[in-house]
């Protein structure tokens, strides 16, 4: 049996459900969906799997899903998201109003797509 934390299909299924419902998940919520409590090592493992989920989405022409996993403190993805390929050509701050605009736009793309395809 595959560990759900390292299973891109399992993680993707939860994220497609969140996108279809038009909601983001905190790191703690996502880990809880997978059967874990929040710890930094579990969060780092999740982030690695999120990268795989987004690589598969890009290959299928789908919007990214990792952007739906956010910090509880400000509703934005963590540092790992900002330094990966999913941020596109955005080179601004990782916090604040400009970051919020980018995240809102990308999340809305996922919400719209999965509302139609979910």
Report yes or no: 77 and 69 within 8 Å, Cβ to Cβ. Answer: yes
pLDDT tens for the chain, residues 1 to 118: 679 999 999 999 999 999 999 999 999 999 999 999 999 999 999 999 999 999 999 999 999 999 999 999 999 999 888 887 666 677 889 999 999 999 999 999 999 999 999 7
By the 10 Å C-beta count (0-12 exposed, 13-18 middle, 19+ buried), 16 is classed as: buried
At 3, give phi and psi (nearest 5°): -65, 120
pTM attached to this predicted model: 0.93
Question: Which residues does residue 25 pair with via DSSP β-bridges, in sequence order?
Answer: 69
How far apart CA 21 and CA 92 sit, in angstroms, is: 29
Any idea where the domains of the chain sit in the sequence?
4-117
């Amino acid at each position: 049996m595959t560990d759900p934390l390292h299973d891109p299909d399992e993680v993707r299924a939860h994220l497609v459900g969140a996108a279809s419902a038009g909601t983001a998940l905190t790191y703690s919520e996502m880990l809880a969906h997978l059967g874990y409590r929040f710890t930094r090592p579990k969060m780092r493992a999740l982030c690695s799997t999120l990268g795989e989920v987004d690589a598969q989405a890009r290959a299928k022409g789908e919007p990214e899903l990792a952007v739906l996993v956010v910090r509880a403190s400000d509703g934005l993805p963590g540092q790992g998201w900002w330094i990966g390929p999913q941020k596109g050509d955005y080179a601004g701050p990782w916090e604040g109003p400009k970051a919020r605009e980018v995240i809102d736009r990308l999340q809305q793309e996922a919400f719209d797509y999965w509302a139609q395809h979910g």
